[in-house]
């Protein structure tokens, strides 16, 4: 079965479920939301999803989601989280062998932003400042006029992510926060990526210079599981995984480091997300 989805798109303004609409569009829902976005609630959700009884939900989830299980190693899942963090079989995620190609670090719905003489970018009604996002003004200045790539993962995506190039880890930082959903309805009302709990790695890469890769938690997913905090890494090497839910990986490149595929930039301008899979080519370096 061919599960390739490269360059298909989804409208950023697509309809949300009645539950999400209740939480973000009604007064009663916003009261409930204040409780749900607390990290302690996500930890409780994680406990439930790691229990054996949660495995009963797997057949229901598979029926309602378009997941190509031929892409994954065959095994018996102990819990829903075990299923959710399932590992792809060898060869299911192919990386371009050309080292100048920028590849997607994960499955997801991609939007691309050129910072254009700034360290700020806009998603729907929310304006993001890299100083606020990184909580490090000096580091943010290094990415002034750069490029920001945002990969929004949904529950049907593969929830492991990787390094996009060979290089070394410069530093790692964890930032505490609340946990909004990363669905478009929330992105239009809150600066979700700057408010949610997140973790970022500053990397010196062989082909793209200094790069920041940030993993952002989401509603009911407080746990970001990165494998290492120092040392060297290889292109395509697994960096970590998210536990239950959908979340976000964000990549920051310095000025003139890369050229993003024109179709992806055009899709973003048209308020569409480009559907990509881990390893897909999404741009090139400038050299």
What DSSP assignment string belongs to 195-247? HB-EEEEEEEETTTEEEEEEEE-BTTB--EEES-SSSEE-TT-EEEEE-SS--
CA–CA gap between residue 116 and residue 95 (Å, rounded): 29
Residue 2 confidence (pLDDT): 38
What does the domain layout of the chain look like in residue ranges? 1-287
Residue 275 confidence (pLDDT): 95
Q: What is the pLDDT of residues 177-215, one digit of tens each?
A: 877 777 666 776 677 777 888 999 999 999 999 999 999
Angle (CA) 130 285 113, round 5°: 35
Residue 244 confidence (pLDDT): 77
Q: Annotated catalytic residue: which of 42, 54, 79, 107?
A: 107
Q: Is 107 a catalytic residue?
A: yes
What DSSP designation does 54 have? G
Q: Is 138 a catalytic residue?
A: no
Residue 67 confidence (pLDDT): 85
All residue ranges of the chain with pLDDT < 50 are 1-6
Q: What is the pLDDT of residues 268-281, one digit of tens each?
A: 999 899 999 999 99
- The answer to whether the predicted template modeling score (pTM) of the entire model surpasses 0.85 is yes
For 50, phi then psi, to 5°, come to -95, -5
CB 130 within 8 A of CB 119: yes
What DSSP designation does 12 have? T
């Amino acid at each position: 079965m061919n599960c390739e989805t490269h360059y298909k798109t989804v409208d950023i303004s697509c309809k949300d479920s009645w539950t999400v609409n209740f939480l973000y569009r009604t007064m009663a829902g916003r009261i409930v939301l204040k409780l749900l976005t607390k990290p302690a609630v996500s930890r409780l959700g994680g406990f439930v999803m790691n229990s054996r009884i949660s495995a009963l939900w797997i057949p229901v989830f598979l029926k309602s989601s378009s997941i190509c299980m031929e892409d994954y190693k065959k095994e018996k899942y102990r819990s829903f989280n075990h299923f959710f963090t399932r590992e792809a079989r060898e060869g299911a995620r192919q990386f371009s062998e050309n080292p100048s190609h920028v590849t997607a670090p994960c499955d997801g719905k991609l939007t691309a932003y050129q910072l254009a003489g700034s360290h700020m970018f806009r998603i729907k009604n929310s304006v993001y400042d890299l100083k606020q996002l990184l909580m490090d003004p000096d580091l943010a200045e290094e990415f002034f006029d750069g490029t920001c790539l945002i990969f929004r993962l949904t529950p049907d995506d593969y929830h492991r992510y990787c390094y996009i190039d060979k290089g070394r880890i410069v530093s790692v930082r964890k930032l505490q926060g609340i946990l909004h959903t990363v669905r478009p309805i929330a992105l239009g009302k809150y600066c979700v990526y700057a408010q949610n709990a997140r973790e970022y790695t500053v990397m010196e890469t062989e082909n793209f210079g200094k790069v920041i890769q940030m993993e952002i938690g989401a509603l009911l997913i407080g746990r970001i599981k990165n494998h290492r905090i120092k040392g060297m890494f290889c292109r395509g090497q697994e960096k970590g995984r998210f536990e239950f839910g959908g979340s976000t990986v964000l990549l920051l490149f310095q000025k003139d480091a890369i050229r993003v595929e024109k179709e992806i930039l055009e899709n973003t301008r048209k308020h569409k997300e480009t559907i990509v899979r881990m390893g897909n080519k999404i741009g090139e370096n400038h050299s």
